[in-house]
Amino acid sequence: MVAVDEDDTAVILYTSGTTGTPKGAELRHRNLRDNALLGRLLFEASPDRPDRHLSALPLFHSFGQTVCQNGVIAFAGTSVLMPRFEPQAALTLMADEKITVFAAVPTMYWALLNAIDQMQKEAGDNSGASSIAAFTQHLRVANSGGAALPGEIHAAFERVFGVTILEGYGLSETSPIAAFSPFGAPAKAGSIGLPVPGVEMKLLRPGSWTDLPPGRDVGEIAVRGHNVMKGYFGRPEATAEALRNGWLRTGDLARRDADGWYYIVDRSKDLIIRGGFNVYPREIEERLLTHPDISLCAVIGVPHPSHGEEIKAVVVRRPGSDLSETELIAWCKEKMAGYKYPRIVEFAATLPMTATGKILKRGLGAREGGSTSG
């Protein structure tokens, strides 16, 4: 046995590196303990009524380690482990194992919807309906994190499965939970909810430590509380850049409504500046997903000789679709402002993803090494 203090480093978790080189976030014992115990307040977790979690997220990642491992153990729950997420296998496990809580990233919910759609096409509506009923029979909590949940997926999941996804927010640096949609309250699609108990959040001018002035809509989220990391392992300069007076600058851009609910706009590193205009890729992605022929998409900035950056959409079409680049660009031109719509479209069978299911934008040629040919 080795005596440890609650402020000692418990783990070093590396960030996913979707936009840059991963950094090792040093998390204290108390960071992990306090975050795991949030389940009681966030969705009424209790050892008196143990939950059954389907754990499809890798346990080396903060989301999987805290929510799907530590948070389950803290309240005497059962964790049903999947070595690799497969949507049809997940649906079967949810029914067979009487799953009550499912934590996932947005692409997993997208995959479940596609699996049900495919099941209904192959075996008829009755088979699909029975699978949906089995899935929802015991499920009481479905939460999403790791990346922004598109509004179309949020609405489709509730429509198909009859369960409202509770969206949360966090980073490896925040152990990870920083905000969560209140359990039992009417959902606000697109919102990550409110800061969790013991945590403060505010908006800063992007790239600075200055508080966002009144009347400004979009700022960079800063977090302070029991969940914030000790620092980046072996990276004192990166730590000093990210932490000040207990506040962590997250690099995520958001707005806040009159009720204090936060809405992620985009990652500051993903922001595209086209001809002097700021373009938020998530806004374009949300609009693209309303197209009936589009299943999944990612929007990135690529170098352009005169505009600085041009907007490129990498799109996964729905099965059977013959949507062309010209048709999609014309549709975007009608639906979006002139400086926002993508001039470059590339169709792909799949999008590159991290082990946690996040879309890996640096794998699409964003900025460095990007191509301007569609």
User: How do residues 24-76 score in pLDDT, each as one tens digit?
Assistant: 999 999 999 999 999 999 999 999 999 999 999 999 889 999 999 999 999 99
pLDDT for the residue 215 = 67
Q: Which residues pair with 313 in a beta bridge?
A: 299, 345
Neighbours of 373 (CB within 10 A): 7
- With a pLDDT cut of 70, the percent of the chain lying above it is 93
For residues 280 and 253, the answer to whether their CB atoms sit within 8 Å is yes
> What average pLDDT is seen over the chain?
90
> How far is the C-alpha of 297 from the C-alpha of 288, rounded, in Å?
7
> How far is the C-alpha of 158 from the C-alpha of 115, rounded, in Å?
15
Average of per-residue pLDDT across 195-213? 93
Domains for the chain: give ranges and CATH numbers: 9-265 (3.40.50.12780), 271-364 (3.30.300.30)
Between 206 and 261, name the one with better pLDDT.
261
pLDDT for the residue 48 = 97
- 157 — phi, psi (to 5°)? -65, -45
Helices (H), 235-344: 236-242, 281-288, 325-335
> How far is the C-alpha of 194 from the C-alpha of 201, rounded, in Å?
9
pLDDT per residue over 345-362, tens digit each? 999 999 999 888 889 888
Between 167 and 278, name the one with better pLDDT.
167
pLDDT above 80 (res 300): yes
pLDDT for the residue 118 = 84
pLDDT for the residue 86 = 95
Helix or strand or coil: residue 167?
strand
pLDDT for the residue 358 = 87
In which band, very low, low, confident or very high, does the pLDDT at 371 lie, cut at 50, 70 and 90? very low
H or E stretch at 126: helix 125-136
pLDDT for the residue 124 = 62
In which band, very low, low, confident or very high, does the pLDDT at 129 lie, cut at 50, 70 and 90? low
